[in-house]
Amino acid sequence: MPIRIPSGLPARAILDSERIFALERPDAEEQQIRPLRLVILNLMPKKIETETQLLRLISKSPLQVEIDFMKTSTHESTHVSADHLLKFYENLDAFADNYYDGLVVTGAPVEQMDFEQVDYWDELTSIFDWAQSHVFSTMYLCWGAMAGLYHRYGVRKVDYDQKIFGVFPQFLQDEYCFITNGFDEISLQPHSRLAGVNESDVAQNPDLQVLTWGPESGPGLIAARDFSEVFALGHWEYGKYTLRDEYERDMVKGLKNVPFPKNYFPHDDPKLEPLFSWRAHANLLWRNWLNWVYQTTPYDLSEVPHLRAQKRLGTDRAIRHEPGSPREDGFKPVERDGYGLIRR
């Protein structure tokens, strides 16, 4: 099924070139089907690049999905034209009375700031609170995941002296989880961040479950028990060359806390084509999430506040997904022997 996008969105040309089927709204409205409704809160500086990355993943679902774009009003973006924001983005006020099947919250390059020091923090938490009564399920990415875990569950952020940078193994923690259904026992996930989350805070919260974890990168995917919130600490949405572009940018800036990206360039040679080794799991994660939302969201989205207040999400409107157990050997053979291209 196609995704529904605003007419004239610049990402359309790129999607067309990649043979991704996207319908602009006038054409989609002729189809007799209720699409899933998603709103993307795009906090990244390069708005068009992030739009394209997310739309690629959303388009892999067989479902028709209608997309809206949200921005904050208390922070002015400098890497995108004001015309683009005016044409395709709205603030929360414009969406306040809308209901959505899903919300996507992107990352932002502010990891080492205290949350309360971010100039749009109050507005961001207002959006998080609005989503609790107007959105069926929220997908948080990277810093957005840290912010969501902190505001919603009190999970503290941990700052790093050196950036976690590259592509790292993530070990599957629950073989039968709906969100990671079909994942290999080891998946690869890009990371590019100067902070993480306090794992003890996550472990002590009965409403959270760790779905994937890595010995170097820590939790890569965390979810609420009812999947009303999914937190991806890494960047499965990244394109093939995103880490390369970030590395070149940081080297030009002369940053000393950015290592060479791990498990990315063959033979660690930046002149060689980087390996796109996370694409399959990225597509599977987003397809699983959209499929779960499709199967469980009410046809009448105005029912969302009541279902969330009563914690009646899930396939039977009452199910709570308890986590399975990771491998009994704790993946120790993998740590000792290495796995494919992964170097420890």
Catalytic residues: 142, 235, 237
Helix (H, G, I), strand (E, B) or coil at 31: coil
- Among candidates 224, 221, 332, 334, which has minimal Cα distance to 281? 221
Beta strands in 56-173 (DSSP E): 65-70, 89-90, 100-105, 135-141, 157-172
Distance from C-alpha of 311 to C-alpha of 322, rounded to nearest angstrom: 15
Q: Taking the CA of residue 262 as centre, how many other CA atoms within 13 Å lie in the half-sphere pointing to its CB?
A: 17
H or E element, residue 129: helix 121-134
Residue 19: φ, ψ to 5°: 60, 35
| Contacts with 141 (C-beta within 8 Å, 6 or more apart), sequence order | 104, 105, 106, 107, 232, 235, 237
- Among candidates 196, 227, 225, which has minimal Cα distance to 213? 196
